[in-house]
Structure 1
């Protein structure tokens, strides 16, 4: 592509270049000269970009780079450096979003000044950038308005061998709102990593491996955190129990799906009074004690090892609208199990070993129930009028049971 390909296109607002080699313009500073209206640029499949490629894009708001290779060289002191990459974003004072996806960083770290003096930068996304595994101290020192940071791989953690290190004060002084560190293998994650991030609202650490359990104070000071995802992490029962969710006063959604729990501690969620969604899918516990859960809207207990459930297990959950108990090992449910849940709309009891249902199971409160799944059980009959109180029911699943299709059904 000619270095002067865009000459005269003064009104151009968006540029997308796929699978085009730009190496022949190395050293040129006029590639985008005069394109003062360009706000978005997407470069995909460009093996290596010269450091001055974005020179002249004074209105640029978003850069998306995919399938790039950033080569490192060894300087006179024997350390790796990047002659071009460290200046790739220099001078882009209007830049708000940077996305590096599937771009191979041929070194363990990035230059400290990669995003230096980008006073408008709000989002940085580093997706599938291995072997990058160390972010330097002061990496975001001159990025005053950064709000969203993603540093994530696409490989599910059992196949991840590269250990990642983040400096303890990486986010110090920033008003972060979203941090996504999913699918990483962390080495010595610091208790101070999220310290005093009072603006943080969403934290994603799904599919992460930790070389040791998280420090009990790692979430200290996250007073406005609303979403926390610890799905499929390597946290142990002891490590998880030591995390004080009670300090997360604004937490609304908590996912710990596929984190092995031999038992569900009744004190785990004490004090987290704003929780509205808890996801405990595939955690392998077998019992639920009364008073374990605060008042919620959605509770997912699917695919565990629950065989028996106490009639008071959901006492106090008056606002619960969705309850998922599918994929467990229950052969029966107590008659008054649903009595405390007066606003229930969705109930999944499918894929259990249910042999029978109490005649009055749905006669107490769940007149608001709209979706009921009883499929894939061992039911042989249903009592006359068992669903008569479910005047709002719109979906009922009964397939794959063992009904005796006689006159008593």
Structure 2
């Protein structure tokens, strides 16, 4: 059997239709697919790669993520980077097969709304990045199951409002999100974040040391 590197990068390469090209290559732990002009998440590309812990699929043209489309990715994955893919829809329980996932990056897509069960099953998630989307609405309970989340970034979105208790119960240490918020509103949104070290709320910075101050 020929030798395969533990990390593979396919940048600008046409992989459309590739089905199980690395079946039983158990030395592969990381795969990066960038700028491949994919119109759909390449489900079958990941078939049979049992020891993957890192996956990046970025710079593509697909709009939907679902549990089915991600079903060939190893359950042991730790890092999943899905940036710049024009994603508008993440179906319920899309990531629920990944109990060991710690880092989920969804920046620079086209999401407009975050809903409950979108992130269900992510029992180990520590970092969630949703910068640069078009999010206007976050439904109550969206983040409620992310009990190990420590870092969340929602910068450069289009928030119109946020539920009062949207961050309640989370152990966040760092939190940032965009919007035109008053200092009072920022304080109320961060009120129950007992572990917060540093936060950015629109033009307001909140930290343990300084309480609140304008940028």
Q: Same fold (TM over 0.5)?
A: yes
Distance 2:167 2:41 in 1: 36
Give the one of 145, 151, 172 matched to 2:23.
172
Distance 1:264 1:398 in 2: 27
Q: Specify the structure having the higher radius of gyration (Cα).
A: 1
Counterpart check, 1:320 vs 2:136: no
Give the one of 97, 102, 123 matched to 1:252.
102
* Aligned equivalent of 1:270: 120
* Aligned equivalent of 2:161: 308
Counterpart check, 1:373 vs 2:189: no
Q: Which runs of 5+ in 2 are unaligned?
A: none
* Aligned equivalent of 2:142: 292
* Aligned equivalent of 2:77: 225
* Aligned equivalent of 2:214: 398
Distance 1:215 1:321 in 2: 29
Query: What is the 5 A alignment of 1:2-401?
Result: 142-153=1-12, 164-165=15-16, 167-175=18-26, 176-186=28-38, 190-210=42-62, 213=64, 216-220=67-71, 221-237=73-89, 240-241=90-91, 244-293=94-143, 294-295=146-147, 296-317=149-170, 319-326=171-178, 328-331=179-182, 333=185, 336-351=188-203, 373=205, 390=208, 392-393=209-210, 398-399=214-215
> Structure 2-normalised TM-score?
0.83
Provide closer, same or farther for how the CA distance between residues 144 and 285 of structure 1 changes in structure 2, counting only shifts above 3 A: same
Q: CA deviation at 1:199?
A: 1.1
Q: Deviations over 1:117-137 (max 9, x none)?
A: xxxxxxxxxxxxxxxxxxxxx
Q: CA deviation at 1:243?
A: 6.3
Distance 2:15 2:93 in 1: 22
Contact 2:34–2:59 (CA under 8 A) maintained in structure 1: yes
RMSD of the alignment, in Å?
Answer: 2.7
Aligned length: 209
Q: Which runs of 5+ in 1 are unaligned?
A: 1-141, 154-161, 352-371, 375-386, 400-409
Distance 2:127 2:159 in 1: 20
For the residue of structure 2 that corresponds to 1:209, the secondary structure is: coil
Provide closer, same or farther for how the CA distance between residues 302 and 334 of structure 1 changes in structure 2, counting only shifts above 3 A: closer
Contact 1:281–1:301 (CA under 8 A) maintained in structure 2: yes
**Structure showing the higher strand proportion among its residues:** 2
Distance 1:338 1:187 in 2: 39
For the residue of structure 1 that corresponds to 2:195, the secondary structure is: coil
Q: CA deviation at 1:249?
A: 1.2
Provide closer, same or farther for how the CA distance between residues 308 and 165 of structure 1 changes in structure 2, counting only shifts above 3 A: closer
Provide closer, same or farther for how the CA distance between residues 341 and 246 of structure 1 changes in structure 2, counting only shifts above 3 A: same
Q: CA deviation at 1:250?
A: 1.0
Provide closer, same or farther for how the CA distance between residues 396 and 329 of structure 1 changes in structure 2, counting only shifts above 3 A: closer
Distance 1:315 1:243 in 2: 21
